[in-house]
Amino acid sequence: MGMRIPIFDGVMTRMNGRAWGTVFAVLLGLSAMAQADALARTTWQEGLKEDLAIIRQTVEQAHPDPYRYRTRTELDQLADGIGNGLAGSMTAEEFIRATLPFFRTIGDAGTWLAPPQPVQQAYAHDVPMIPLRVAVIGGRLYVDEELKGFRSLPSGCEILRINDLPAAKILAKLRAGQVPEGNDTTLLDRRIEHDFPVLYRRFVGAADRFTVDYTAPNGVAGRQVIMAMTPDEMRQTYRPKGIELQPWRLEEVPATHSAWLTLATFGQEELDQRRVNPERFLNAVLDALRRSEASTLVIDVRGAGGSDLAMAERVFGMIATSPFRVVKSMSIRNGRVPDSYRYARPEPEFFAAVGGMYAEELNGRRELLPNDPRLMWLKPSPKAFKGKVYVVCDGSTTGAAAAFVMMAKRTGRARTVGEETGANALSFCGGKTLEVTLPNTGCILHVPLVRYVPDGIPSGPPDRGEMPTYEVPRRKADLAQGKDTVRDSLLALIAELQ
């Protein structure tokens, strides 16, 4: 035990409940002041321009495919224009909004600028926000769930206006506040659904209360005032629907001789946290399918992501019936440590290993050597599932999960159902990500270091995600009942085909 301080001990003993309440209130006030300072902190013009120069330099030196949609000259001209507009002082959020056109022009959703860490902490805990989770369906906003302990709005109602701003303008502001993947807007809409309170606060505006004009599912119009809540307050009062489920789970549907396999993440770290061993789990799934004599398997990867494509390889191996590979090429910028590395989270393994893995630089790019194991064809396992396969995906299916969807469709092994993926079908960037904390604003620059070209040929536009075999959008009519449109439709189809 540490040494006790007699004077402090005496004060502690004499303090009553009211005194402790005062101390607690003071501490809360100091915390709120610190968070307000983080949001209000500004950077002057010289610092803003220095941070912009670091962004430009890092993208040029480290990004594996920065000029897909615009030439270097065009991107430089855009950055010059942004720099000329950096006058006076700006908060971190104002700087992010000023630089957004640069990132949106690159068109890589993995290359973006995040708020400083103290601001992120404020958003995660202490900043009052609108306590709603929404659904974006057909370009309209609907209430999916209220993030508080009681209901103010009818379930599944359409939002017409918030604080007199039309829903169409709200949606436009939220989309414009994000970096797209080419011309794919489904990823933007799914992110709005996932992060609506924070995105609304950042790109629409702050308020203590929100007047929501809506139309209920029965067509009746209404208006309701909702008070702002901090994320901590939401967590204290909100009770999620249902129970928390494992990210990987199998549900057998004996009536249709089928099974529904949910893989909600392809991230090894998250699976480790939930104590899911991928190899052991997938083997157990194959055993269960053999025992049940299932003839159809549905693999649901909606919302799944992950940076390691080996996970896509592992999952596809469970259903592969012919030789396969995830990607036909991988490339990096040049393999040299960028000048901004002194501000970055260290990635020593990546930069130390590139010399022996990648060919010499050609046209501003270094290709992975053709004899690398990651480019080799793999033989299917004799234990793999041989029945019919459907893969369910949506706009938030990215990274390794999106690569799995591409393999499943392009090899003809599965029919894909739902929405286009959130990763570009022609090529996408990911893998190791360089995170650079800008020295003046404190904003955090994210730049992926590897470009992947998936095997096979995409069937849709080159600036969009992998298109599904069967497009099945979510239905607004199902929101109020909490139905899963895609699941219900697909299970009904499987039953009809029996």
Convert the pLDDT of each residue in 329-341 to its tens digit: 999 999 999 999 9
Residues 118-150 have pLDDT tens digits of 999 999 999 999 999 999 999 999 999 999 988
pLDDT tens across 391-412, in order? Answer: 999 999 999 999 999 999 999 9
Q: How confident is the model at residue 242 (pLDDT cuts 50, 70, 90)?
A: low
Predicted pLDDT of residue 73: 96
The Cα-based distances of 11 to 5, 16, 30, 424 in angstroms read 10, 10, 21, 63
Output the pLDDT for position 27: 39
Same fold, 128-229 and 248-496: no
User: Running DSSP on this structure, what letter comes out for residue 138?
Assistant: T
Instruction: Write the CATH number of the domain with boundaries 248-496.
Output: 3.90.226.10
- Options 2.40.160.60, 3.40.50.620, 2.40.50.180, 2.30.42.10; CATH for 128-229 is 2.30.42.10
pLDDT tier at 460 (50, 70, 90 boundaries)?
confident
Write down the pLDDT at residue 294.
Answer: 94
pLDDT at residue 11, rounded to an integer:
37
> Does the pLDDT of residue 14 top 50, yes or no?
no
Strand intervals (E) in 368-490: 388-393, 415-418, 428-437, 444-454, 470-471
φ, ψ at 207 (rounded to 5°) = -160, 155
List the alpha helices (DSSP H) in 338-423.
Answer: 348-357, 399-410
Counting Cβ atoms within 10 Å, is residue 12 exposed (0-12), middle (13-18) or buried (19+)?
exposed
Nearest Cα residue to 410 out of 77, 187, 421: 421
Query: What pTM, to 2 d.p., does this model score?
Result: 0.90
pLDDT at res. 464: 95
- Asked if the model's pLDDT at residue 22 lies above 90, the reply is no
pLDDT in tens, 175-212: 999 999 999 889 999 999 999 999 999 999 999 999 99
Where are the domains positioned within the chain?
49-116, 128-229, 248-496
